[in-house]
Structure formats: C-alpha cells, structure tokens
Amino acid sequence: MGEVGRSSEGPRTALVVGAGVVGLSTAWFLQERGVAVTVVDRAGPAAGASWGNAGWLAPGLALPLNEPGVLRFGLRSLFDRAAPLHVPASPDPRLWRFLLRFAAHCNWRAWERVAQANLALNAECLEAFDTLIAGGVRAATPQAPVTAVFESAGHAAGLLAELARLRDVGQELSYRGLTEGELREWLPQASERTGTGVRVDGQRYVDPGEFVAALADSVRERGGVIRSGFDVVDIRPHRHAATVRSASAGTLSAQVVVLATGAWLNKLTRRFGVRVPVRAGRGYSFTVATDEPVPGPVYLPEARVACTPYQGGLRVAGTMEFRGPDAALDPARIDAIVASARPFLTGVRWEERRDEWVGPRPVTHDSLPVIGATAAPGVYVAGGHGMWGLTQGPVTGRLLAEQITAGKQPEALREFDPLR
C-alpha cells in the first residue's frame, strides 16, 4: 500500500477488513476524503448478510430489536424449531450470557434509548444512498411503501403502537392503517385471511447483492483495491501504522484499519478494548415466483417475515437463529418460514423456491451497533446493526470516515462508542 506514515492532516491510507455494505461504504467515503483504501475479505464482496437480506431501505421500520414483547415471545418459542426465533439447545455459556444480557435490555426505557440513538442514522440513511449513486454507484433504489399485513385491526395494534412510540422520540414517520378493501386494492397478493394493513410511506428497497457489487465496482473504479481470500487472523497496531496478517495471504499495512466483519467482529476486537458482545442472529431467505408483480415490500409481523420484489419474483426473508455464523443451512427453518407466510399471501409459488440462503446478522446485547475508535490507535470498528445493516450501512460509513479523517467523534456516533 505504499507509504503508511501518519500525517498531521489525517491518514492517507486505510485498510478495511470486510467487504459487506458497511465495510465498502466506509471505504467509499474514505476515498471521498482523499484516503487510499484497500478492502480485504475472506470470501469477497457481498458474501455474507449483505447478499441475502430482504433489501429494505426502511428507516421508518428500523425498530429497536429489544422491544419488550420480543422477550415474552422469545421465552414462548425458545426451543421451537418452527418459531421465528430459535435458540438451539446448546451448552455454550457465552451464548446464554449474551441472551441474558439482551433480555435485561428488553424494556421500554432501553428501547427508547436505542430509538433516540438511531435518529441520526435513520434521518440521513437514504441521503447517504443518494450520495453513493450520484457518485457513481450504478444501482437502483426504487421508492415504495412497506405494507404490513394482519388478520385484524386487533393484531395491527402492536405495530401501530410501536410506530407511535418511534414518532414520539423524534423520528419522522408517515404511516396509516389500511382497511380490508384498501389492502386488497394495493396488494393483490393479500389472502382472504388478511383483514387490515399498515402502510409506511417514504421507504425504498434494493437488490442487495446487486447494490453491494455495484458499490465494490465503484470503490475499484476510484482507485481502491479489493482482495478476496484474505482471512485476517491478527492485527498489530504500531506507532505510525497497523499491520494486518492473513492466515495464508501475507500481511498488509496502512495508517488506519477498519474492522467491519459483521458477526465475526469479536474474533478481532476483544484485544482492542471492545467488550460489547456481537453474536450471529442468523436470517434465512429464498426467492419465489409470483403470479402477479408485487407492488412493494411486504411485512408479515405475525410471522416475522419480510418480503421484497426481487428479480421478477419475491424474496422472502425471516427468522432469527442464534447459532454459529458458519453453521450450515437448516432446511427446517426454510420450511418454517413458508408455513408461517403462506396463509397471508396468494399467487406465490412456494414450491418453486430458489436461492435458499442463510447468513449471520450481527446482533449486540443492547441493540446498539459499535461504530468508532477502539483502544488501539488507528484501529476502528463498525458493525452490530442487527437487521438494519443495509439501511444504516452507508450512513455508518460516511460518519466513520468523518471521524477517521477529522480525528473527532461525530455526535451521531456517541451512543455507538465501541468502548462503552
């Protein structure tokens, strides 16, 4: 990477570990500030959660994961393989410590803290996507409301109450309830079992794999280097640089290193003072054909399933499974998503599934991501966004690039301090 000595005007070189949406966004915005970047990843761009997620750009539904009802729901479904939340029976003490710490944050006071902390990310996230696209990232971000579908008005009350809470803490939101007739008119896939809906306006969606691949192309076109097959096993901070070592691909050095490895963050961050645990909350997805085009993203809160128009069909994503990030796909989880979503939607050819996928979403115990400087000079971290890594990834990259180059933590990142 050439000269790595520090400059009084800020770093000139950076090494980003992780080629998902967060890592590549950080690299892109560092380039905007004149920093030469190299991105390394053990697999390549969009190889993890950045590929298989639902593709929502939905700040209006970026609800804190630690909603109190999650705890009650989780206890009821703890060992049910068909439930949207699944924790396999395991003697892993670290997992159980994590879940107990997470449970302690499932209250409205902690929820409001997360909601307030997310305000700046959610307010600026779509603008960050627009900046990327204006700067050469060749991808589309269609605008469409997200339609939540319910059996009855009583079932919709929980989401409406949570959206009202989100608006009360200061987030701009535009939403309204839909009658049965309005729901059928807007969403032809709504089944006879559905009786009402909630429409959240001003949202967007993307083909996530296509978007992240386009982001990687833009980083390269602007002079950046992206290296696959670089599995980082050690990081050594020095006075004027940091050195990153791969198990098989040698070493690289730069003035600053950014760790954006998603659910694998804790493997590299503990020795740098980061004590926030990050676990893999694994999500599953697949693609199905539909008889008619789907007009926009669809949310099935009672099934905990998100659906998005995708390559002429529908991408269906759901579940939260606490297993190791590299564990194999469990077909029973796919079957459970189909069984829970099928009653709400018609005209979906469930048996014609393709692209069955599982990937690890990085979840923290307090539902706040970790973004910023570690205890080691020149080493930064970005991750732990849970289900909202795609929505909040570009704005995270922009804010972190500002902190790295200006040497001062932006106010918007204060609550996400990795050393909290």
Q: What is the pTM of this model?
A: 0.94
Lowest mean pLDDT among 1-10, 203-212, 219-228, 332-341: 1-10
- What's the pLDDT score for residue 78? 60
Q: Which residue has the higher pLDDT, 72 or 276?
A: 276
With pLDDT > 90 as the criterion, what percentage of the chain qualifies?
A: 87
- What's the pLDDT score for residue 4? 39
- What's the pLDDT score for residue 80? 67
Residue type, 108: W
Beta bridge partners of 222: none
What is the band of 3 on the pLDDT scale with cuts at 50, 70, 90?
Answer: very low
| pLDDT tens, position by position, 175-221 | 999 999 999 999 999 999 999 999 999 999 999 999 999 999 999 99
Beta bridge partners of 259: 17, 381
- Sign of the dihedral defined by the CA atoms of residues 130, 131, 132, 138, in that order: positive
DSSP secondary-structure letter at 409?
A: -
Q: Which residue has the higher pLDDT, 88 or 404?
A: 404
- What's the pLDDT score for residue 1? 35
Mention the CATH class of domain 65-109+137-204+278-364: alpha beta
- What's the pLDDT score for residue 84? 73
| Strand ranges across the sheet with 379-383 | 225-227, 36-40, 13-17, 256-259, 379-383, 370-373
- Cβ atoms of residues 22 and 383 within 8 Å: yes
What is the mean predicted confidence (pLDDT) over 139-150? Answer: 98
| pLDDT tens, position by position, 386-408 | 999 999 999 999 999 999 999 99
What is the mean predicted confidence (pLDDT) over 82-99? Answer: 81
Given a cut of 70, whether residue 8 has pLDDT beyond it is: no
Element (H, E) at 139: none
Residue showing tokens 């564990």: 327
- What's the pLDDT score for residue 140? 97
User: Hey, what CATH topology would domain 13-49+210-276+368-416 get?
Assistant: FAD/NAD(P)-binding domain (3.50.50)
Classify residue 217 as exposed, middle or buried by CB count within 10 Å of its CB (0-12, 13-18, 19+). Answer: middle
- What's the pLDDT score for residue 279? 95
- Cβ atoms of residues 123 and 276 within 8 Å: no
- Sign of the dihedral defined by the CA atoms of residues 375, 114, 205, 310, in that order: positive
- What's the pLDDT score for residue 327? 93
Residues, the chain? 420
Token pair listed for 238: 């020095």
What is the band of 91 on the pLDDT scale with cuts at 50, 70, 90?
Answer: confident
Given a cut of 50, whether residue 7 has pLDDT beyond it is: no
Averaged pLDDT of the chain:
93
Q: Where along the chain do its domains lie?
A: 13-49+210-276+368-416, 65-109+137-204+278-364
What is the mean predicted confidence (pLDDT) over 126-151? Answer: 98
What is the band of 241 on the pLDDT scale with cuts at 50, 70, 90?
Answer: very high
User: What's the CA gap between 91 and 74, in Å, rounded?
Assistant: 18
What is the mean predicted confidence (pLDDT) over 293-298? Answer: 97
What is the mean predicted confidence (pLDDT) over 340-352? Answer: 96
Given a cut of 80, whether residue 81 has pLDDT beyond it is: no
Q: Please state the φ and ψ torsions of residue 310, each to the nearest 5 degrees.
A: -155, 115
Question: Phi/psi zone of residue 183: left (φ > 0), alpha (ψ -120 to 50 degrees), beta?
Answer: alpha
What is the mean predicted confidence (pLDDT) over 285-290? Answer: 98
| pLDDT tens, position by position, 26-72 | 999 999 999 999 999 999 998 888 999 999 999 999 999 999 987 76
- Sign of the dihedral defined by the CA atoms of residues 177, 60, 355, 326, in that order: negative
